[in-house]
Amino acid sequence: MLHPVTLIPGDGTGPEITEATRRVLEATGVQFDWDIRQAGIDLMAKCGTVLPDEVIDSIKRTKVALKGPITTPVGKGFRSANVSLRKKLDLYANLRPAKTYQGLRSRYEHIDLIIVRENTEDLYAGLEFQKGAPELDVMIETIARTTGIHLNHDCAISIKYISVLASQRIVRFAFEYARCHGRRKVTAVHKANIMKCSDGLFLATAHEISKEYPDIQFEDRIVDNMCMQLVQKPELYDMLVLPNLYGDIISDLSAGLIGGLGVAPGANIGSHYAVFEPVHGSAPKYAKQNKVNPMAMMFSGVLMLRHLHEKDAANRLEQAIAQVIAEGKWLTYDLKPRPDDPTAVGTSQVADAVIEKLHKL
């Protein structure tokens, strides 16, 4: 079967890891009809946007995309193309597995966590008011009138927005995933002791939805305690479901538990479309150096194969990557004891090694 897939190389180190991933995916024997679409910071000057409409149109046609990272300027400039993509396609669930493989340098063994991050609202909703903007004054006046709290005008405001609908569907997604994949427990993560309204709503909704799934254990943790627990005893946890910002932070923390961002995959899933991408960003300082680890994107490719019902190819690709990790000969700098280790190989050599293993399976 030929699978139409939108392929977005992205920017920074994105094109190199995308090419490495495309090669290993094709080596599984699965047939892809790639629709290659450009998005990213390099397009800004030429097209005035980092995310041209044709990218969205392509994903609406193929339903599935494999995406490299895209740079977003910090504190200024255009809004994130990654956030826009997730919003435009209503990719409400961000799935981020964190799993240890033999040979990864990690303080832990046998971690197999699934993190489900809400992807559309919370502090990422884009409800922001810049210092000095006229809209900010209106906000400050409204807050004073409705709450009696008088804010300084030298401030900026970002609104944390959490709805029942989005909380219901993300928690349901987590429980459905747990059922389909034989998981035993879902932990909702929040800060409802302080943000009683927004996080309180998320937590109350999670409790309500959990009643529909009596076969799966449910519990909740306050986010700061969750961070400590994950560092001390990650084996106690199975699946976590979180609002957007906590999900982003905890999934990087979990990537740290399993050997780093170089091996942490992700998927953005909605009711109609799915976009697979590594957790990490564009690492622009290493662009065009054939240096960074393509495994996070390759593992995202494994998730994509499962989504496309290519279970056998997914298992073989995961096994081939795991064998390369266990062998320890063809690893990039980030998986070595020291970043300047002279035995570290480049992005494309990792792809060659994975393909060789695939051919032997």
Residues belonging to the active site: 124, 191, 224, 248
Tell me the DSSP string of 27-78: HTT-EEEEEE---STTHHHHHS-SS-HHHHHHHHHHSEEEE------SSSSS
- Is 250 near ligand NAD (CB under 6 A)? no
Q: 319, 306 in Cβ contact below 8 A?
A: no
Burial 14-25, CB ≥16 within 10 A → b, else e: bbbbbbbbbbbb
Q: Which stretch binds ligand NAD (CB under 6 A): 149-157, 229-237, 290-298, 353-361?
A: 290-298
- Is 261 near ligand NAD (CB under 6 A)? yes
User: At which residue do the structure tokens 């240890």 appear?
Assistant: 100
User: Phi/psi at 31 (nearest 5 deg)?
Assistant: -95, 125
- Is 281 near ligand NAD (CB under 6 A)? yes
Strand partners, 268: 94, 275
- When the beta carbons of 47 and 139 are compared against ligand NAD, the nearer one is 47
Query: Number of helices (H) and strands (E), helices first, in the chain?
Result: 12, 12
Look up residue 25 and give its two tokens: 């995916």
- Is 277 near ligand NAD (CB under 6 A)? yes
Residue of 262, 265, 301, 346 interacting with ligand NAD (CB under 6 A): 262
Residues 9-38 as x/- pattern, contact with ligand NAD by CB under 6 A: ------------------------------
Cα 79 to the center of its chain, rounded Å: 18
266: closest CA among 274, 36, 258, 318?
A: 274
Give the binding-site size for ligand NAD (rule: CB under 6 A).
18
- Is 280 near ligand NAD (CB under 6 A)? yes
Residues 330-359 as x/- pattern, contact with ligand NAD by CB under 6 A: --x-x-------------------------
**Residue spans of beta strands (DSSP E) within 37-78:** 64-67
Residues 69-98 as x/- pattern, contact with ligand NAD by CB under 6 A: xxxx---------x----------------
Q: Which stretch binds ligand NAD (CB under 6 A): 87-95, 132-140, 201-209, 274-282?
A: 274-282
- When the beta carbons of 121 and 277 are compared against ligand NAD, the nearer one is 277
User: At which residue do the structure tokens 């990218």 appear?
Assistant: 55
User: At which residue do the structure tokens 């976009």 appear?
Assistant: 275
Residue sitting closest to ligand NAD (CB): 281
Sites of contact with ligand NAD (CB under 6 A)? 69-72, 82, 261-262, 277, 280-283, 286, 292-293, 296, 332, 334
